[in-house]
Amino acid sequence: MPELPEVETVRRVLEERLRGLRITAYKLGQPTFYRRPPDLKHLIGSTVEFVRRRGKYLVVGVSGRRELVLHLGMSGRLAFGAAGPHLRFQLMLQGEILGFHDARRFGRVGCPLPELGPEPLDSCFDPAYLHKALHDRKAPIKALLMDQRIVAGIGNIYATESLFQAGIKPRRPAGRLSKPEMARLVKAIKTVLRRAVKLGGSTLEDAAYLDPLGRPGRFQKRVSVYGRSVGACGHALKATRKPISGRTSLFCPICQK
């Protein structure tokens, strides 16, 4: 699933290409990814004023203080142009067509924003906040980092990388982390995410993620742990005995205690 760096990369491209354009029509593909297709007729004729990101969600703000919310789901991809496989939705604008391609149909267009925690790159996401949010929690720290109600935008890739950078084992009960460990973890999260955004996110072997111009991310070439058998530290990696939040979790038994 695209995480904060991938969605932020998409947002920047959309902001540059769509801002100031008028929405002229929309079209649902077949089969759509909806049981009840959204009614977006009220957006026709409005002008795109901004594109922002909230966690893993994209929010297209248009004139009249209205918004169009999109979520890429597991395999969703936004791309300019009318053609392509698994086309589920098209947004027509002056001189542009934006298509939503989604092989697994977990993406959403016109959905509401759920309850989300703070943005990890904002100043309010700090050690004090994380300590307060996690101090009495027994769940593994990695599971709670991927809980969007605690912090928005982090998934399997960047939780894995951040915990390695902070030297914390993914199955550690969150409430047992010390304040210095919380501080290291917050710093690691911000460092990893900023680096990933700078590199355009991560495109894995299945190439499910490309930005709207068809460009892959480059962070996967710089990962320390995710998808590797030997960490950047030079030690052999291990997987946790049980998946965490349904995901295999790699860690270094030497560097992460």
**Which positions are annotated as active-site residues?**
2-3, 56, 247
The DSSP bridge partners found for residue 51 are: 60
Token output for 71: 């979520």
Indicate the residue type of 247. R
The DSSP bridge partners found for residue 98 are: 80, 91
Question: Which own/partner contact pairs does 9-13 have at CB distance under 8 Å and 24+ positions apart?
Answer: 9/197, 9/200, 9/201, 9/211, 9/217, 10/58, 10/72, 10/78, 10/211, 10/212, 11/51, 11/52, 11/53, 11/58, 13/211, 13/212, 13/213
- The answer to whether the CB of 72 falls within 8 A of the CB of 106 is no
Q: Is 47 exposed, middle or buried (0-12, 13-18, 19+ CB in 10 A)?
A: middle
- The answer to whether the CB of 3 falls within 8 A of the CB of 74 is no
The tokens 């086309």 sit on which residue?
87
Q: Put the strands of the sheet holding 96-101 in their side by side order.
A: 23-28, 87-93, 96-101, 77-80
* Torsion over CA: 142, 147, 149, 155 (sign): positive
* Helix, strand, or coil (residue 5): helix
